[in-house]
Amino acid sequence: MTGFARSPKLTRAGLVLIDPGSGAVTRIVSLQYAADTLTRKLTAQAVEAEGDRSHPLRLTGPAVETITFDAELDATDQLEFPDNNPSAVETGLFPALAALESLLHPTVAQLERQSAQRKSGSFEITPAETPLALFVWSRSRVVPVRLTDLSITEDFFDPALNPIRAKVSLSLRVLSVADLGFEHRGGGLFMAYLQGKEALAARAAAGQLGELGLGGLPT
């Protein structure tokens, strides 16, 4: 057995789409290569009544968390074995890119239903509802999100102008119980995500005041 055969299997990141009602998985969008850098921003939801200084430490809800990262897609490896990858030969990366783009579009059926409601004079047009998206980045990070922004750069094409290499930049907003409510399936998944954070925080090494140059706190 070679050293290559003993190499650890790499875990991919991706997005899992589920039906909010049944929890059934409707699609898995696997990112071919994990990003080298992932940026997260958390903004506290605090009491900020103008002139009110009576609750400086109180939080009104979970922090608003956003996640941004770049990922690369490449169909070159599949094209080396065309018999095993007919889709890549025929359409390159178009299917993978379309799967990501579908997170931002209503379906054709939803748009047609809205059009029919308008034509019938419906007082209220039903907004299109997308599947619930879960961002998966290791077993420790499975969190409900909304894709808010997607940028795609296609930089290499086959003779039929199918994209062969592409870079995608994704911006995700974590959906908390403040967005979904406690009864929503995504709300439960967010609570599990938050509980995981608390468990990991409990495992962090405790610091000492001496490390900060203090013998004790001022009184």
Residue-wise pLDDT tens digits, 128-139: 788 899 999 988
Q: What is the pLDDT of residue 50?
A: 59
- Residue 219 domain-assigned (yes or no): no
Q: What is the pLDDT of residue 2?
A: 47
Within 8 A by CB and 6+ apart from 94, the residues are 162, 163
Residue 51 has pLDDT above 80, yes or no: no
- Residue 206 domain-assigned (yes or no): no
Q: What is the pLDDT of residue 6?
A: 58
- Residue 79 domain-assigned (yes or no): yes
pLDDT tens per residue across span 146-186: 999 999 999 999 999 999 999 999 999 999 999 999 999 99
- Residue 112 domain-assigned (yes or no): yes
Rounded to the nearest integer, the mean pLDDT of the chain is 87
The token duo for 84 is 């095993």
Average pLDDT over residues 41-59: 77
The number of beta carbons lying within 10 Å of the beta carbon of residue 102 is 16
Q: What is the pLDDT of residue 1?
A: 44
- State the virtual CA torsion across 30, 31, 37, 43 in degrees, nearest 10: -50
Average pLDDT over residues 29-46: 86
- Residue 150 domain-assigned (yes or no): yes
- Percent of the chain scoring above 70 in pLDDT: 92
Lay out the sheet containing 38-46: strands in order across.
Answer: 25-30, 14-18, 132-136, 142-157, 163-174, 59-74, 38-46
Residue 53 has pLDDT above 80, yes or no: no
- Residue 179 domain-assigned (yes or no): yes
Residue 4 has pLDDT above 70, yes or no: no
- Which domain does 134 fall in, by range? 24-47+57-195
- Residue 166 domain-assigned (yes or no): yes
pLDDT tens per residue across span 59-106: 889 999 999 999 999 998 888 898 998 999 999 999 999 999 999 998
- Residue 215 domain-assigned (yes or no): no
Count of domains forming the chain: 1
Average pLDDT over residues 47-62: 74
The number of beta carbons lying within 10 Å of the beta carbon of residue 179 is 17
